[in-house]
Amino acid sequence: MEIVGGLANIYACDTEISSIIDDELAYAGYSIQELMNNDASFEEVIFLLWYRHLPTQDELATFQQELKDWSSISGEVEACLRIQTRQNLHPMSVLRTTVSLLGVFDPYAEENSEKSAKIQSLSLQAKMPTIVAAFSRLRKGLNPIQPRNDLGFTANFLYMLTGEEPTATQVKALNQALVLHADHELNASTFASRVSASTLSDVYSCVTTAIGTLKGSLHGGANERVFDMLEEIYNNGTAAEYLQKKLDSKEKIMGFGHRVYKTVDPRQSYLKEMAYQLTHDTEDARWYDISVEIEEYIRDARGLIPNVDFYSATVYHVLGIESDLFTLIFAMSRVSGWLAHIKEQRENNSLIRPRSRYIGPSGQVYIPIDKR
């Protein structure tokens, strides 16, 4: 058997959900450029990933209302969030536990019918921003804000987070970030969700598995550490000094390089432009300026490309999102892709069960414990 470390460049399944070909990301055949240049809404993209076609106007209106109908969380879930704010947990641990908890309060959580799976998917997609916003407010000693029926998915999240109705520019910025993070072929968390789905486990378990995988530092959290880097440079010196020191000690520069993309991450240019628009002529322009310095230095020194995490850190910060919540925003978007892959796995299922190659000793002889 040939062993390929990390299963790099190994095809594990067929999919109609997303593709990465020649450094171009596409959802169900629609390139990211096509979706972004036509201002596709995040709700349209969720629908596209789930059903593999863009919605009609009526389909979109119905889908948007379904998401709104499922967006509130119960008093029991809110009470559990309050408890978790006092446990000094990482926010990703809170999200993982709370998503699992949703299954406890869902009387149909153990049903595997197509109808139940759709309801569970709608509930998870709709409640994710409500959970993140509620947790953010609760740990500050503030009460959660209920979602509004007159606001879309992105605007509702920003409203629940801050208590203020967001500007059109803010809504567009977050909408773009959510669209760009919605799916990314067979990344680690998506693969984990498909492995879970292949066992015919319930939707809540599959998504909880994905969140647990995203929590790992080699998958999620890079944008959080990007902003830590920006702050450290701003407070302690120049970008060149900081970066050269990191490079000399062979430390990884967060937000650069990618396992799949070789020449460009097609998502980062949109976030770079949005970071500029959000910070231009404000005191937050310093974060954009430092980011540009870092990008130029790393390109010249190592030939590395910025990935989607790099400029998203500035975008999220300027939107008022705390840095330790950045990965939760990732999950709030990527759950759309996870749910699409869970659905697709179930439609043509085969248990995912690879083999391992044993390299330990053989022919061992048991020795009684009193003679060892």
Q: What fold, for 31-167+185-215+325-347?
A: Citrate Synthase; domain 1 (1.10.580)
Q: Tokens representing 307?
A: 């990935």
Backbone angles phi, psi at 256, to 5 degrees: -130, 145
Helix, coil or strand: residue 27: strand
pLDDT tens across 68-100, in order?
A: 999 999 999 999 999 998 888 899 999 999 999
pLDDT tens across 339-368, in order?
A: 999 999 999 999 999 888 899 999 999 999
Burial class (CB in 10 A: 0-12, 13-18, 19+), 351: exposed
Task: Name, in order, each residue with C-beta under 8 angstroms of 325's C-beta and a sequence gap of 6 or more.
Answer: 91, 132, 136, 316
Query: Which element (helix H / strand E) includes 30?
Result: strand 30-31
Comparison of pLDDT for 12 and 153, the residue scoring more: 153
Orientation of helix 153-162 relative to helix 57-69, angle to 10°: 30
**C-alpha–C-alpha distance, residues 133 and 142, integer Å:** 11
Instruction: Break the chain into its structural domains and give their ranges.
Output: 31-167+185-215+325-347, 221-319
Task: Name, in order, each residue with C-beta under 8 angstroms of 258's C-beta and a sequence gap of 6 or more.
Answer: 265, 305, 307
Q: Tokens representing 181?
A: 């993070």
- Cα 55 to Cα 47, 62, 231, 319, distances in angstroms: 7, 10, 42, 29
Q: What pLDDT sits at residue 252?
A: 87
Catalytic residue numbers read 258, 309
Q: Above pLDDT 70, what percent of the chain? A: 99
pLDDT tens across 136-160, in order?
A: 999 999 999 999 999 999 999 999 9
**C-alpha–C-alpha distance, residues 76 and 23, integer Å:** 45
Q: Is the pLDDT of residue 259 over 80?
A: no
Burial class (CB in 10 A: 0-12, 13-18, 19+), 210: buried
pLDDT tens across 295-345, in order?
A: 999 999 998 888 888 999 999 999 999 999 999 999 999 999 999 999 999
Q: Is the pLDDT of residue 8 over 80?
A: no
Query: What is the dihedral sign for C-alpha 30, 36, 40, 45?
Result: positive
Q: What pLDDT sits at residue 305?
A: 86
Supply the DSSP symbol for 370: G
* Tally of CB atoms within 10 A around 181: 23
Backbone angles phi, psi at 145, to 5 degrees: -110, 130
**C-alpha–C-alpha distance, residues 372 and 370, integer Å:** 6
Residue type, 126: A
pLDDT tens across 268-286, in order?
A: 899 999 999 999 999 999 9
| Averaged confidence pLDDT in the chain | 93
pLDDT band per the 50, 70, 90 thresholds, residue 258: confident
Q: What is the mean pLDDT of residues 13-33?
A: 94
Q: What pLDDT sits at residue 17?
A: 98
- Cα 208 to Cα 102, 140, 180, 204, 299, distances in angstroms: 10, 26, 22, 6, 37
CATH topology identical between 31-167+185-215+325-347 and 221-319: no
Angle (CA) 102-166-91 rounded to 5° is 35
pLDDT tens across 154-209, in order?
A: 999 999 999 999 999 999 999 999 999 999 999 999 999 999 999 999 999 999 99
**C-alpha–C-alpha distance, residues 199 and 195, integer Å:** 7
| Homologous superfamily in CATH for domain 221-319 | Cytochrome P450-Terp, domain 2 (1.10.230.10)
Q: What is the mean pLDDT of residues 217-237?
A: 89
pLDDT tens across 41-64, in order?
A: 999 999 999 999 999 999 999 999
Query: Which element (helix H / strand E) includes 25?
Result: strand 24-27
* Tally of CB atoms within 10 A around 161: 22
